[in-house]
């Protein structure tokens, strides 16, 4: 049996053999419920069409103003890049750099790299520097935050409605379409592009540099992939025990998903397909996660106590904290956006730090309790972390739009820099944590695999 048809769960390290799935179905891990793979294959024509459409929308979204604001006969409008420049000039350069990276450079680079890869693959050619480009795409995905910025635009419209006349412009509508297109593009599994490049290499009769699977022998009962029969299994019927990759001397590449035989216990080496360093666990996972988490907890206090912005009008000046901004939205009747901002900016960072603390302590103790639930908590923390950047984008928009001299002006406060640091640090803490440590229980612990889903649409 070759490792080419194996898949290892990245959350609990369980090993499965790939099985054919119905159209629209997805295989999930029986042990932790995580997504393993889906039945859909990469449609290069459709992906390229979405990529080119996203490029057009990106140009339009940056060529036209996002929003127009009017106060006392004066009009203010700003493009995305102008917002970044104005934020940089407002003595909050860290906010400008984060906004430039997550909303401008990373989305643009991501679109260009997708086009660079898809055009040659569509012509049955593997592009030059394919490996490096694919690694760059994988690294940029968590830091591309166009959907968070789009929600920030909506919040800014509501906030500005109380002090001026705000009108969405062409750039905002184009950005909404761009958000949808990039969401569709990033929903595709990059492993599908690795496999397509592998097929092209094999068809060309090359030396298969992109894929060199090593043979492995393992009991068939330990690598059965979940199928539709799992959902119809009679209650009480025994399942085959799930073995982990370490028990079968297997290791999965974190960069491309290739499963290899772990022949070198002390130095696994590098992946023959993508040249990524092979690691059984993330190095120094506990130490790095704790470092990022402690730093975020320290900065969380000034982020919520210090003002994030100062609003000056003819009637006086007002310092706004994150909580006061939530109250303002609630009092203006936008209770739905108030709930969203409170959840994303106050509750989510606090919940993330509490959940990560729980995960770090329990994994350090190698606890065998609630492993499936703790894995779900980690997946939730990993998903919601980026949405805390909402208030950062709202402040950046207000800094650029509200510039009417003595009539109205918005300046950034020290709290927004601390809050931005909290968001980035909690994201780094969750990325540093290795969820497979949840399942590294003590040898004396006796646990039975939980019943899990088979396939889901």
3-state secondary structure of 127: coil
Q: Which of 412, 355, 361 is nearest to 384 (CA)?
A: 355
Q: Where are the alpha helices (DSSP H) in 26-169?
A: 44-63, 80-89, 93-99, 106-122, 130-140, 146-160
Mean pLDDT of 398-426: 77
Quick one: pLDDT at residue 223? 38
d(CA 181, CA 185): 6
Task: Give tens-digit pLDDT for 246-295.
Answer: 778 888 888 777 888 776 555 567 888 788 888 788 888 999 999 999 99
Q: Which of 97, 103, 101, 107 is nearest to 66 (CA)?
A: 103
The mean-pLDDT minimum among 71-75, 107-111, 175-179, 302-306 falls in 71-75
Q: What is the DSSP letter of 270?
A: B
**Which band of pLDDT confidence, cut at 50, 70 and 90, is reported for residue 161?**
low
pLDDT of 321 higher than 70: yes
b/e map of 402-413 (b: 16 or more CB within 10 Å)? Answer: bbbeebbbbbbb
Quick one: pLDDT at residue 446? 42
The mean-pLDDT minimum among 62-66, 241-245, 411-415 falls in 241-245
Ranges of each domain in the chain: 63-94+139-167+284-438
What mean pLDDT is reported for the chain? 78
pLDDT of 8 higher than 60: yes
Confidence (pTM): 0.80
Quick one: pLDDT at residue 266? 54
**Strand partners for 409:** 312, 403
Task: Give tens-digit pLDDT for 119-160.
Answer: 999 888 989 889 889 989 989 988 999 999 998 888 887 777
Task: Give tens-digit pLDDT for 183-224.
Answer: 988 887 788 888 888 888 878 765 444 433 333 333 333 334
- Determine what percent of the chain is predicted with pLDDT higher than 90: 24
d(CA 335, CA 188): 35
pLDDT of 335 higher than 80: no
**Which band of pLDDT confidence, cut at 50, 70 and 90, is reported for residue 163?**
low
């Amino acid at each position: 049996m070759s490792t080419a048809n194996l898949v290892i769960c990245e959350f609990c390290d369980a090993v499965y053999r790939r099985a054919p799935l119905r159209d629209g179905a997805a295989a999930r891990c029986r042990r932790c419920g995580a997504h393993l793979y889906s039945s859909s294959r990469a449609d290069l024509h459709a992906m390229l069409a979405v990529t080119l459409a996203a490029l057009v929308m990106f140009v339009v979204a940056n060529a036209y103003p996002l929003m127009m604001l009017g106060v006392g006969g004066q009009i203010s409008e700003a493009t995305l890049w102008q917002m970044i420049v104005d934020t940089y000039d407002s003595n909050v350069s860290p906010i400008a750099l984060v906004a430039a990276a997550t909303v401008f450079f990373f989305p643009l680079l991501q679109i260009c790299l997708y086009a660079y890869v898809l055009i040659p693959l569509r012509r049955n050619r593997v592009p030059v520097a394919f490996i490096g480009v694919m690694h760059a795409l994988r690294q940029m995905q968590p830091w591309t935050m166009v959907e968070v910025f789009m929600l920030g635009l909506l919040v800014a419209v509501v906030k500005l409605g109380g002090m001026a006349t705000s009108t969405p412009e062409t750039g905002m509508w184009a950005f909404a379409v761009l958000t949808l297109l990039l969401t569709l593009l990033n929903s595709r599994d990059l492993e599908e592009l690795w496999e397509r490049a592998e097929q092209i290499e094999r068809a060309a009769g090359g030396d298969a540099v992109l894929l060199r699977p090593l043979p492995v022998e393992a009991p068939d009962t330990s690598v059965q992939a979940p199928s539709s029969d799992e959902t119809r299994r009679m209650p009480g019927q025994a399942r085959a025990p799930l073995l982990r990759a370490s028990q079968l001397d297997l290791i999965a590449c974190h960069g491309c998903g290739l499963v290899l035989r772990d022949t070198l216990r002390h130095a696994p080496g590098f992946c023959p397909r993508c040249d990524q360093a092979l690691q059984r666990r993330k190095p120094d996972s506990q130490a790095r996660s704790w470092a990022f988490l402690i730093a975020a907890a320290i900065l969380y206090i000034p982020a919520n106590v210090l003002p994030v912005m100062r609003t000056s009008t003819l009637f006086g000046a007002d310092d706004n904290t994150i909580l006061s901004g939530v109250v303002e939205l609630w009092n203006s009747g936008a209770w739905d956006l108030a709930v969203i901002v409170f959840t994303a900016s106050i509750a989510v960072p606090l919940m993330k730090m509490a959940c990560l603390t729980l995960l770090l302590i329990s994994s350090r103790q190698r606890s065998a309790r609630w492993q499936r639930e703790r894995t779900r908590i980690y997946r939730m923390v990993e998903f919601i972390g980026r949405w805390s950047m909402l208030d950062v984008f709202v402040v950046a928009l207000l800094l650029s739009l509200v510039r009417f001299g003595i009539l109205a002006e918005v300046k950034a406060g020290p709290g927004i820099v601390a809050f931005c640091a909290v968001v980035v640090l909690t994201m780094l803490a969750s990325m540093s944590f290795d969820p497979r440590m949840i399942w590294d229980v003590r040898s004396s612990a006796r646990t039975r695999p939980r019943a899990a889903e088979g396939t889901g649409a």
